[in-house]
Amino acid sequence: MSKLFSPTTLRGLTLRNRTVVAPMCQYSAQDGFANDWHFVHLGRFALGGFGLVMLEATGVVPEGRISYGDLGLWKDEQIAPLERIVTFLHSQGAAAGIQLAHAGRKASTSIAWRNGFDETEEEKAALHFESWTPVAPSALIHAEDKGFTRPEALDEAGIRNIIDAFVAATKRADRAGFDTVEIHAAHGYLLNQFLSPLANKRTDRYGGSRENRMRLLLEVTEAVRAVWPEDKPLLVRLSVSDWHNEGWQVEDSVALTRELKARGVDAIDASSGGFEGAVIPAAADYQVPFATAIRNEGGLPCMAVGLLGDAHRAEDIIANGEADFIALARGALDDPNWPVHARHELGASDYDLWPKQTNRVRERDRSLRQRSFAAS
């Protein structure tokens, strides 16, 4: 039996297989509200057979969004459209997760496909355009001349407010029916900024030593775990390495993972990068060694992500103990049906993972003598 397509359990959640849709920002919300785009975008992955579908980085406060087009969960009115998505994902056999985030100094940026802030006044009104001054551990801009805004340094009251915002958003995520939440501490966003000496130049108890730089993420984790139901798993996304000689390193992430495990985290989503000056040798499977290090040395189940997609290699990653889950983002955009296709490629002869409404695919395959009918 395929390891990739075997069920697995985290706390009280059993996933039908080990394939995951990684969070992908869509920059298509207004005032943080999910809409029909999000419903269709996410729903197709459940139809395609993924075990867990993760929603994009969702701001716990308005100023925590990467852009004005990001999802949010800072007010109760945002629950209902998310609940609609969760209900559909569940109806198709997929679990639903949401990534809770604060972008820190990488907030208030332009929509990815626009030429900077080039909205007309009419578009600004229609799109609910907003811009603001971001916050960060230190008043250091992420990058000059690239559309970022110099942030204001958070004081301890501001830090406390952010912890409270993660807690409030977590409670709303539970009310929306999500099976898991993921704390976003990667990609150069706020919690990652506190971790990395590249962005954190503080001299108080939230800066300086590695222990101090880890403090905010650990406090957020403790607070979130305290209000998240005991039977639901808690995930954390880490940039395991900054890919920078003066930044956060793999050994730092291993030490951090042990602390997260002690605070009730159930799995790590192992990514990397997020700061200027990084030298990233991107290639197929390039982040898998990070997942393996976290899994074997940090002691938590781990999700591999980043330019994956070859079915046989994905199977080997799980079978060899290099990671516990395979997460696709751009690969899922390219092929929302990747799990059902990969399962056939790995030798499945049945069509059980396909939705019953798509049983005509089986009849097509029979007519064309392909997949399980190739030798008949």
Contact of 136 with 190, CB cutoff 8 Å: yes
3-state secondary structure the chain: CCCCCCCEEECCEEECCCEEECCCCCCCCECCECCHHHHHHHHHHHHCCCCEEEEEEEECCHHHCCCCCCEECCCHHHHHHHHHHHHHHHHCCCEEEEEEECCHHHCCCCCCCCCCCCCCHHHHHHHCCCCCCCEECCCCCCCCCCCCCCCEECCHHHHHHHHHHHHHHHHHHHHCCCCEEEEEECCCCHHHHHHCCCCCCCCCCCCCCHHHHHHHHHHHHHHHHHHCCCCCCEEEEEECCCCCCCCCCHHHHHHHHHHHHHCCCCEEEEECCCCCCCCCCCCCCCCHHHHHHHHHHHCCCEEEECCCCCHHHHHHHHHCCCCCEEEECHHHHHCCCHHHHHHHHCCCCCCCCCCHHHCHHHHHHHHHCCHHHCCC
Two tokens, residue 243: 């890919």
CA 272 vs. chain centroid, Å, equals 12
Q: Which of 107, 139, 147, 110 is nearest to 127 (CA)?
A: 110
Cβ neighbors of 43 (< 8 A, separation 6 or more) are 85, 88, 89, 92
Active site residue 68: no
Please identify which of the residues 27, 68, 189, 351 carries the catalytic annotation: 189
Q: Catalogue the active-site residues.
A: 189
